[in-house]
Amino acid sequence: MILLRHPICGTLRGARSLSTRASAILSSLDIPVGAAELPGVYDGQWSGSGEVLESVCPATGEVLARVRSATPDELHEALGKSKEAYLHLRTVPAPKRGELLRQIREALSAKRDVLGALVTLEMGKIKTEGIGEVQEFVDICDYAVGLSRMMNGRVVASERPGHTILEVPNPIGVVGVLTAFNFPVAVYGWNFALSVAAGNANVWKPSPSTPLCSIAITKIIARVLEKNGLPGAVSTLITGGKNVGEAIVESRDIPLVSFTGSEAVGRVVGKAVQSRFGKSILELGGNNASIIMPDADMQLAVPAVFFGAIGTAGQRCTSTRRLYLHRAIAPKFLDTLQKLYATINVGDPLVDGTLLGPLHTRAAVGIYSDAVQRLRQSGAEILTGGKTYDHAALSQGNFVQPTISVPKTADPADKIWSTETFAPILNVGLFDELEQAIEWNNAVPQGLSSSLWTRDIRNLGKWIGPEGSDAGIVNVNVGTSGAEIGAAFGGNKVYAWKQYVRWSACTVNFSDAAPLAQGVDFST
């Protein structure tokens, strides 16, 4: 049995009057609660007269706000102002940009808890995860403050006397940031902090279903920019749908596009940016596996798998979706995990103690149901979950039961294993040798995060070495989900700032001669 921790109070989907708690959260962030529509474009001034986006609370179905997105003209004007803002910001010394980020960090920290509540209200993740997401933005600002004094180039020895070669990092221009619903604050933070430290202006296109989070963050950043005499278009916000995203991706005035979202859309974005010789940063799907060896510490491994599979209702790109258990410990592990699943508190994500909130949209519930149906039709054993909740108090929200299934085979080529389902579904396979589990881990198209649980240093060495996991995140005795900001996240975070600059190779001649490289003689 999964426990209903708290009833949810809210208005029904489509209601125009806000609940008390929604009004309190929005008011604390200077978002008008009485307005029929909110402007969803910021480039130094707020505007927006395009199509209307609805922000809907996934826990109650309450319509939180209606936001006016950008028209084509407003989009064009905002992109132009972003370019102008870049021309200003690039002349500001990097340590001064670091001071700007320090002030933004302080402003975000002062509103951390209420911003976290807004993430919970609009996205649906539980309260502690919402606050943790805002803390990520705070932390990456700390990182970028220090980075602003360490964005160094290189001095390269020249073969020519009286010459030296410098590799100099310069700002790249305007960075387009397209973010997803599941981390409506943190992903922009990751990009914005490093990009501003590098001297770039930024254009933020958030998910159409989380416009309020982007508006709240933009208001905070805008106040700091204004206080420092900098143009607001250093952090431009353009809400909208597919047309806005396409315009950003196709714009030659945006040399770098950072996209977070599905593999399918990521392929389109990558091709479009590449076709104009732009640069792209793509953070896409994750079909992440945890491997449990017989010598694993079960007291650590079971709770980690529990969080990895259920945290954010399975809507993290690092969520644990595949669990490979050594046959010798599989029955005990699954029994312990099922008992833990039975104790989970589901309900209002804004209430302390709730561990399972809703899926983000009704469409996501359909995706969950379809995936469960495919499992049943294939003959998989459903150990727990596999349906939506029938509690009256949850009927207006997008709540589904966390599911553990044991498919008939562990063939990674089967769509059950190779397809990422953004929902709390955990598929279990049994193995006899670590090499077999590693092969399964590596056989799917996605390669974001992975985790091995063992106390044998030989297993550890194999797992992190050339014969081990091919994912970007290769953890040992740590779950697949919950990465820190200072380490790699499917890439090389230590040097991530180098993607936000253009590199200039500068050969300097300080001699009285002008020899050619490679000894070429072109004299007459």
Structure tokens at 65: 């706000």
Give me the pLDDT at residue 12, please. Answer: 33
Q: Specify whether 283 is catalytic.
A: yes
Q: Is pLDDT above 70 for 490?
A: no
pLDDT at position 263: 87
- The span from the CA of 252 to the CA of 278, in Å, is 8
- Cβ-proximal residues to 76 (8 Å cutoff; 6+ apart), any chain: none
pLDDT of residue 9: 43
Confidence at residue 482, expressed as pLDDT on a 0 to 100 scale: 79
Predicted pLDDT at 14: 36
Write down the pLDDT at residue 10. 39
Over residues 294-315, the mean pLDDT reads: 97
Could you give the CA distance from residue 406 to residue 409 in angstroms, rounded to a whole number? 8
Give the H or E element holding residue 116. Answer: helix 112-123
What does the alpha-carbon distance between residue 133 and residue 121 come to, in Å, rounded to a whole number? 13
Please choose, from the candidates 241, 219, 12, 21, the residue with its C-alpha nearest in 3D space to the C-alpha of residue 121.
21
Res 486: pLDDT: 76
pLDDT of residue 250: 96
Q: What pLDDT was estimated at residue 213?
A: 98
Give 404-422 pLDDT, tens digit per residue: 999 999 999 999 999 999 9
Lowest-confidence pick of 47-51, 198-202, 446-450: 446-450
For 323, counting Cβ atoms within 10 Å of its Cβ (0-12 exposed, 13-18 middle, 19+ buried), the class is buried
Secondary structure string (H, E, C) spanning 215-241 = HHHHHHHHHHHHHCCCCHHHEEEECCC
259-289 confidence digits (pLDDT tens): 999 889 999 999 999 999 999 999 888 899 9
pLDDT for 7 equals 43
Q: How confident is the model at residue 248 (pLDDT cuts 50, 70, 90)?
A: very high
- Tell me the pLDDT band of 16, cut-offs 50, 70 and 90: very low
Q: How confident is the model at residue 26 (pLDDT cuts 50, 70, 90)?
A: very high
Query: Which of 122, 129, 283, 420 is flagged as catalytic?
Result: 283
What's the pLDDT band for 493 if we cut at 50, 70, 90? very low
Average pLDDT over residues 222-249: 97
Looking at residue 2, its pLDDT comes to 52
60 pLDDT above the threshold of 60? yes
Mean pLDDT of the chain: 93
For residue 165, the number of C-alpha atoms closer than 13 Å in the C-beta half-sphere is 11
- Where does the pLDDT of residue 495 fall: very low under 50, low under 70, confident under 90, or very high at 90 and above? low
Give the pLDDT band (50/70/90) at residue 207. very high
Q: Is 76 helix (H, G, I), strand (E, B) or coil?
A: helix
Say whether pLDDT at 6 is over 60: no
Left, alpha or beta for 454 (phi > 0: left; psi -120 to 50: alpha)?
Answer: beta
pLDDT of residue 390: 87
pLDDT at 310 exceeding the cut of 90: yes
Residue 355 predicted with pLDDT over 60: yes
Query: How much is the pLDDT for 487?
Result: 72
